[in-house]
Amino acid sequence: MNPKLHKYIEKLDPTQSYLVTEFVDNYEDGVMRRRDLVERVYSITGSVAVAASTLLALGVKPAFADPLASGNAAPPAQSGPMSPFTVAENDPAITAGPVTYRSSDGATIQAYWARPSAAGRYPAVLICHENAGTSEHFRDITRRFAKQGYVALHPDLLSRRGGTDAVPANERGGALTGPGATEQFVEDFRAAMTFLRQQSFVAGDRIGMTGYCYGGGMTWNVAIKEPTLRAAAPYYGTTAYPNEVGNIRAAVLGVYAGNDERVNMQIDNNRSQLQANGRTFRINVYPDSPHGFFNDTRPMTYTEVAATNAWRDTLAWFNTYLRAGALPQTGDAETVEEEVIEE
159 with 234, same domain: the answer is yes
89 within domain boundaries: no
Q: Residue 28: which domain range?
A: 3-57
What is the mean pLDDT of the segment spanning 252-267? 96
253 with 172, same domain: the answer is yes
User: Confidence class of residue 9 from pLDDT cuts 50, 70 and 90?
Assistant: low
Q: What's the CATH code of the domain at 284?
A: 3.40.50.1820
147 within domain boundaries: yes
- Give percent of the chain with pLDDT exceeding 70: 87
Strands in 236-325 per DSSP E:
251-259, 281-290
The whole-number pLDDT of residue 12 equals: 86
- Which residue in 215, 321, 332, 338 sits closest to 284, CA to CA? 338
173 with 319, same domain: the answer is yes
331 with 207, same domain: the answer is yes
Sign of torsion, CA 176 180 183 184? negative
157 with 225, same domain: the answer is yes
Mean pLDDT of the chain: 89
User: Confidence class of residue 114 from pLDDT cuts 50, 70 and 90?
Assistant: very high
- Which residue in 341, 342, 177, 327 sits closest to 249, CA to CA? 327
- Which residue in 264, 182, 196 sits closest to 230, CA to CA? 196
User: Tens digit of pLDDT for each residue in 186-208?
Assistant: 999 999 999 999 999 999 999 99
User: Confidence class of residue 338 from pLDDT cuts 50, 70 and 90?
Assistant: very low
What is the mean pLDDT of the segment spanning 222-247? 98
User: Tens digit of pLDDT for each residue in 158-185?
Assistant: 999 999 999 999 999 999 999 999 999 9
User: Confidence class of residue 72 from pLDDT cuts 50, 70 and 90?
Assistant: low
236 with 294, same domain: the answer is yes
145 with 246, same domain: the answer is yes
What's the total number of domains in the chain?
2
User: Tens digit of pLDDT for each residue in 269-289?
Assistant: 999 999 999 999 999 999 999
What is the mean pLDDT of the segment spanning 329-343? 43
53 with 98, same domain: the answer is no
Checking if the pLDDT of 263 tops 80, the result is yes
Q: Residue 267: how many CA atoms within 13 Å on its side-chain side?
A: 21
| The 108-116 sheet, strands edge to edge | 94-102, 108-116, 151-155, 122-128, 202-212, 231-235, 251-259, 281-290
